[in-house]
Amino acid sequence: MSKLLLIDDEEDVRYSFQRIFDSPEIEIATASSGEEGLKVIPKFKPDLVLMDVRMGGMNGLETLRRIRATNPKLLVILMTAYGTTQTAIEAMKLGAYDYLLKPFDAVKIKELVGNALKAARDMKQVVSYEPMLQSEDYDLGIVGRSETMQQVFKLIGQVAASDATALVTGESGTGKELVARAIYSHSQRSTQPFLAINCAAIPEHLLESELFGHERGAFTGATLQRIGKFEQCNKGTIFLDEIGDMTPPTQTKILRVLQSGTFERVGGNQPIQADVRVIAATNKPLEAAVAAKQFREDLFYRLNVVRIHIPPLRDRRDDIPLLVNYFVKKISREQQQHPKSIAASVIKTLEKYHWPGNVRELENAIRRAHVMAKSDAILLSDLPPEISGQGGGGAAIPVAGTAGEAAASDAASLARQLFQWARRDPKLKIIPAVERELVIQALKETNNNQVHAAKMLGITRATLRKRIDKFGILRELNVK
């Protein structure tokens, strides 16, 4: 249940908003002035405040200033008439989450409020990662006892204590966002806002303005000044998800913020200070993007100061039973049902599957099985056919049996991912980029022993030499 506080001095407006948000998932409180609103907040503890700018008594801006001073993480959306957008922009500078222009459009309001409530949840829920704390009291935990996940936990702890930029990498569904939120909730900035931006989801030409804002008239359609996330999130943490999808001009601006803590709005020339911690994530091999000149090398090194790589689930299969248990508990609590037991054959099957969609796929499989199960136990037949290998036209990919089969199926799923990436961006020249990267890795790993490196890669030494020459690799590795 989310809590919404409406502050407006007009009864009609309060009434119509109450009607828009009439839902069992939202609890609403109202206040008819800024002064009253400030009194209601500590008692009602809203997740979001919707407030009019122009009110008798204390106006919206002053009220916002006071809310920010005592509750910096509380999200506030301001409502304003067209003529007063300048005030709304002032409000954004003060850290308002967004503003709404009158007359209101119910669909837009619902969308905006939905996004804001999600952002509020992101900030509020503490993501625990210390394995000892993974009790049922925790809504959100990163589950994992495998050695590789222990390493991840250690790194989260180390990076959370500092203000360093962190780069979280891993395949889709491995838990990158969860890790980013864990860093935030354990950092000194946890009392300040956390804003997540998915760089792949925002059209290229809008991303820069989303991040840094724009001046009025900066481009066609920029009829009003806009405050970007970096300005809005001052003192907070920004999570740049899918950073590999960012275009070079935006990369340049990000680099500058990281280096000097300043930026300019699009179309503006006044430097603006930003005290923002950046956590970035990507499921693309950024090294290959750097090699293909798609991603700025200097930005890569700047982001890579602390690198947290989350291994794919198939490389830490010993975490699977633990995760299954966790999801069964989580899902049964959500659905207010008794947790179902799990047949041993189910766990065995889940442990063998190659999980191209990683933990997200596992969570979805358990969710589905929990619904499908007709008895108190989850059986093999309750799993999706591609996982159980039963019916549904047979398994698309064989469940890995021998080590050789496992490697082949891992290679297939990796190739599928790379292919998706190549399809989106042919400029990347995926085959040479990956080949080059593999050769570099193998040489580094073997201390430039070409015989061993060739063996590792499954090619002849002559082929390896050809690749080394073709890509000019020795120069890069500083070997004469």
Ligand X SMILES: Nc1ncnc2c1ncn2[C@@H]1O[C@H](COP(=O)(O)OP(=O)(O)OP(=O)(O)O)[C@@H](O)[C@H]1O
Binding site for Mg ion (CB under 5 A): 177
Residue 245: alpha-carbon gap to chain centroid: 13
Closest distance to Mg ion from the beta carbon of 241 (Å): 5
Of the ranges 170-178, 248-256, 271-279, 293-301, which one interacts with ligand X (CB under 6 A)?
Answer: 170-178
Number of residues that bind ligand X (CB under 6 A): 17
Determine contact, residues 168/310, Cβ cutoff 8 Å.
yes
Binding mask 323-342 for ligand X (x = CB under 6 A): x--x----------------
Encoded one letter per residue, x for contact with ligand X by CB under 6 A and - for no contact, window 275-314 reads --------x-------------------------------
Q: What is the 3-state secondary structure (H, E, C) of 374-441?
A: CCCEECHHHCCHHHHCCCCCCCCCCCCCCHHHHHHHHHHHHHHHHHHHHHHCHHHCHHHHHHHHHHHH
> Minimum CB separation from ligand X for residue 131, in Å?
11
Among 170, 213, 285, 312, binds ligand X (CB under 6 A): 170
- 178's contact among Mg ion, ligand X, none, with CB below 5 to 8 A by partner kind, is ligand X
Counting contacts by CB under 6 A, is residue 134 touching ligand X?
no
C-alpha 140/C-alpha 128 separation (Å) is 6
By CB under 6 A, is residue 359 in contact with ligand X? yes
| Angstrom distance (rounded) from CA 177 to CA 190 | 16
Q: From residue 22, how far is each of 33, 118, 153, 188, 253 by CA, in Å?
A: 22, 18, 41, 37, 42
Q: What share of the chain is helix, strand, coil (3-state, %, to 5)?
A: 55, 15, 30
Q: Which of residues 49, 142, 258, 274 is near ligand X by CB under 6 A?
A: 142
Q: Which residue is nearest to Mg ion (CB)?
A: 177
Opening angle at CA 313, ends 377 and 337, nearest 5: 25
Query: Could you tell me which stretch among 73-81, 106-114, 167-175, 455-463 binds ligand X (CB under 6 A)?
Result: 167-175
- In the complex, least distance from residue 176 CB atom to ligand X, rounded to whole angstroms: 3
188 is written with which tokens?
């000194």
Query: Which member of 122, 210, 215, 363 binds ligand X (CB under 6 A)?
Result: 363
Which residues of the shown chain bind ligand X in the complex (CB under 6 A)? 142-144, 170, 172-178, 283, 323, 326, 359-360, 363
